[in-house]
Amino acid sequence: MPAGTLYRGREGMWSWVAHRVTGVLIFFFLFVHVLDTALVRVSPEAYDEVVATYKTPIVALLEYGLVAAILFHALNGLRVIAVDFWSKGPRYQKQMLWTVVGIWVVLMAGSLYPVLGHAARELFGS
Amino acid sequence: MSSDTTSAIGPVEGAAYDVDNPAPYIEPPRKRTGRTPKSTRGNFEMAAWLFMRLSGVVLVVLVLGHLLIQLFLDGGVSKIGFAFVAGRWASPFWQVWDLLMLWLAMLHGANGLRTVINDYAERANTRLWLKGLLYTATVFTILLGTLVIFTFDPNIR
């Protein structure tokens, strides 16, 4: 790669990229989610049938991914607000990003069992 | 370097200025005065920027609360079904919660995607079509979701 073509934005740039990617993913899920919820106006059976797909192990993994995206977007969003409105925000943006990553890792570890437990029981028996 | 080391400007033409003979006042460039025409653009982008922060704070509470109830507590996703939805929407509190979440999340997401389209779609025509599609889908989804919350019937069958 020729020198000088890779923008070395480090933490600031990569958190911005991750914020965009997670934001777009969440928005696309939101469309689908409003549509599937709208089935409660069709019939209880139609709704329960679609929700049954949300309970399969593969979709459970996607739900874990959704939780990951939402948690990062929420925590980093609060960091963006701090950078914009707190006078010392820009100076501490790196430290705040690593705080966000730390809280995110802890919450994701804590989410493993609640979100994926039912899928594990289905796959490996209770 | 010139031989004059005290000033880089050199001698000023005419009389030197002092208290009795002040220099003419020069307005800063682009200063807004009474003669400046009113901007025709308004403050939409600033309002959008502020909306992202304000709605973001509210959404952190609404969405994380929603996730906690739907995916974590009480058996997680396994408990969700028509009966569970009917039980929650029997309460005006959760109706308002979901309605507010729907509107704020859709507008927050739509404005985010508008920014993404503006950043990456280079041709004006592409931007026009992508944003047209985005606004159509957004209005449709907001209206559909609102209709579902307001017209929900637990005794549909």
Number of A/B CB contacts below 8 angstroms equals 102
Cβ atoms A96, A85 nearer than 8 A: no
Considering the domain boundaries, does residue A57 fall inside one?
yes
> For B109, which of A26, A38, A81 is closest by C-beta distance?
A26
Report how many domains make up chain A: 1
With 0-12 CB in 10 A as exposed, 13-18 as middle and 19+ as buried, what is B123? Answer: exposed
- A21/B contact by beta carbon, under 8 A: no
- Quote the domain boundaries for residue A113: 12-124
> What number is the average pLDDT over the span B120-136?
95
What residue ranges define each of the domains in chain B, with the CATH number in brackets? 44-151 (1.20.1300.10)
- State whether residue B75 sits within 8 Å of chain A by CB: yes
- Domain membership flag for residue A2: no
Residue A85 resides in a domain: yes
Chain-chain contact of A41 with B148 (C-beta, under 8 angstroms): yes
In a domain, residue A6? The reply is no
- pLDDT score for B1: 45
Q: Do A60 and B63 touch (CB under 8 A)?
A: no
- Mind telling me how many Å the CA of A120 is from chain B's nearest CA? 13
- Kindly report each contact of residues A27-32 with a partner whose C-beta sits within 8 Å and lies 24 or more positions away, as own/partner: A27/B109, A27/B110, A27/B112, A27/B113, A29/A66, A30/B105, A30/B106, A30/B109, A30/B141, A31/B137, A31/B141
Q: How far is CA A122 from CA A57, A116, B84, B99, in A?
A: 8, 10, 22, 34
Tens of pLDDT, residue by residue over A20-45, are 999 999 999 999 999 999 999 999 99
Q: Return d(Cα A121, Cα A57) in angstroms, integer.
A: 10
The tens digit of pLDDT for each residue in A67-124 reads 999 999 999 999 999 999 999 999 999 999 999 999 999 999 999 999 998 888 888 8
Contact A41, B75 (CB under 8 A): no
User: Torsions phi, psi of B16, nearest 5?
Assistant: -70, 150
| Residue A22 belongs to domain with CATH number | 1.20.1300.10
ipTM for the predicted complex comes to: 0.89
Question: What would the pLDDT profile of B52-88 be if each residue is shown by its tens digit?
Answer: 999 999 999 999 999 999 999 988 888 899 999 999 9
Is there a contact between B145 and A34 if contact means CB atoms under 8 Å apart? Answer: yes
Tell me if chain B has a CB within 8 Å of the CB of A33. Answer: no
Assess if residue A28 is contained within a domain: yes
Are the C-beta atoms of A107 and A69 separated by less than 8 Å?
no
DSSP single-letter state for residue B3: S
